[in-house]
C-alpha cells in the first residue's frame, strides 16, 4: 500500500485525534493530515447519552455534545494543539443503537435493521485550549435490504471482529456493502467522520497546504 502524500502546511500547530478509532485515524492520514497522536478521552459516554436522552435531546445533539466533550477533555491537557473530536449515533424509528458488544449483539443489530431505513447522525468538532473553534454535523440515511438468518451468519463469519467497531455492525468500505439496498449521504460521514468540511477548516488554518 502506498504511503499517503505529505501535504504539510505552514502552521506548526499539532493535530490530535481524541479517539482510539483506527478508521478515523486512517481517513485523516490517507487525506494527508499528520496526527501528532491519538488520545481517547476518558469519558463515560453512556452516562452522557442517558442524561441527554432524559432531557429530550435528539440523536444529533448527543453526537455533537459527545464530539465536543471528547475534544475539550483532551485539549485541556494538550495546550496549543488542534484537537479533533467526533461521534456518531445510529437511530432507527426513534431507537438509538450502540456498538455491539459481541457477535450475538451484532446479529441482533442486523436483524433489527434489516429491511428498514436508519439514520447515522455524525458530528466533528475542533477544540484548542479548551475552546471550541469549529464544528460540523451531517446526517446520512441508509436502507438495509431484507436479510435472512443464514446470510447474517455467513456475513459475521466473514467480517470477523472488526464489525464490533461499527455502531451498525457493518463496514460499508468492505463486505458491509452487501447489506444495503440504498444509501443517501456522504461516504465519509457514514464511516464516522465528515472529512471534507474538516479538511476545509484545516486548510483555512494552514494545517494543510
Q: Go through the chain and tell me how many residues it has.
A: 209
Query: Which CATH number belongs to the domain containing residue 100 in this structure?
Result: 3.90.950.10
| Residue 10 domain-assigned (yes or no) | no
| Residue 2 domain-assigned (yes or no) | no
105 alpha carbon, distance to own chain's centre: 20
| Residue 8 domain-assigned (yes or no) | no
| Distance (Å) of CA 57 to CA 16, 50, 53, 60, 140 | 28, 10, 5, 8, 19
Rounded mean pLDDT, 129-156 = 95
| Residue 43 domain-assigned (yes or no) | yes
End-to-end Cα distance, the chain: 24
| Residue 9 domain-assigned (yes or no) | no
Residue 71 reports pLDDT greater than 60: yes
| Residue 4 domain-assigned (yes or no) | no
Catalytic positions, please? 87
Rounded mean pLDDT, 53-68 = 95
Residue 4 confidence (pLDDT): 42
Q: At what angle do helices 103-113 and 149-159 cross, to 10 degrees?
A: 130
Rounded mean pLDDT, 119-138 = 96
| Residue 97 domain-assigned (yes or no) | yes
pLDDT band for position 120 (cuts 50, 70, 90): very high
Residue 108 confidence (pLDDT): 94
Residue 1 reports pLDDT greater than 60: no
| Residue 147 domain-assigned (yes or no) | yes
DSSP for 83-139 reads EEEEEEEEEETTEEE---SSHHHHHHHHHHHTTSEEEEEEEEEEEETTEEEEEEEEE
Query: Residue 180 in 3-state DSSP?
Result: strand
Expressed as residue numbers, the domain containing 137 is: 15-204
Residue 3 reports pLDDT greater than 50: no
Lowest mean pLDDT among 6-15, 30-39, 71-80, 192-201: 6-15
Q: Do 171 and 162 contact (CB within 8 A), yes or no?
A: yes
Rounded mean pLDDT, 2-11 = 48
H or E element in which residue 140 lies: strand 131-144
Supply 176's cell numbers: 458491509
144 - beta bridge partners? 180
| Distance (Å) of CA 145 to CA 13, 18, 160, 167, 170 | 45, 34, 21, 18, 13
Rounded mean pLDDT, 150-171 = 88
- In the chain, how many domains are there? 1
> β-strands 82-92, 15-17: how paired?
parallel
Amino acid at each position: 500500500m502506498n504511503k499517503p502524500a505529505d501535504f504539510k502546511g505552514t502552521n506548526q500547530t499539532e493535530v490530535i485525534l481524541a479517539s482510539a478509532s483506527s478508521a478515523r485515524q486512517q481517513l485523516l492520514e490517507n487525506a494527508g493530515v499528520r496526527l501528532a497522536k491519538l488520545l481517547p478521552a476518558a469519558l463515560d459516554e453512556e452516562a452522557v447519552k442517558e442524561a441527554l436522552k432524559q432531557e429530550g435531546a435528539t440523536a444529533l445533539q448527543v453526537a455533537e455534545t459527545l464530539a465536543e466533550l471528547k475534544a475539550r477533555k483532551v485539549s485541556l491537557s494538550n495546550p496549543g494543539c488542534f484537537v479533533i473530536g467526533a461521534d456518531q449515533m445510529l437511530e432507527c424509528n426513534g431507537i438509538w443503537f450502540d456498538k455491539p458488544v459481541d457477535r450475538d449483539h451484532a446479529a441482533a443489530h442486523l436483524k433489527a435493521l434489516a429491511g428498514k431505513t436508519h439514520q447515522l447522525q455524525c458530528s466533528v468538532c475542533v477544540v484548542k485550549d479548551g475552546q471550541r473553534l469549529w464544528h460540523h454535523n451531517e446526517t446520512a440515511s441508509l436502507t438495509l435490504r431484507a436479510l435472512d438468518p443464514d446470510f447474517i451468519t455467513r456475513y459475521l463469519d466473514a467480517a470477523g471482529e472488526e464489525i464490533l467497531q461499527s455502531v451498525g455492525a457493518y463496514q460499508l468500505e468492505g463486505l458491509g456493502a452487501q447489506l444495503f439496498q440504498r444509501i443517501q449521504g456522504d461516504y465519509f460521514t457514514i464511516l464516522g467522520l465528515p472529512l471534507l468540511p474538516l479538511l476545509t477548516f484545516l486548510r483555512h488554518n494552514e494545517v494543510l497546504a
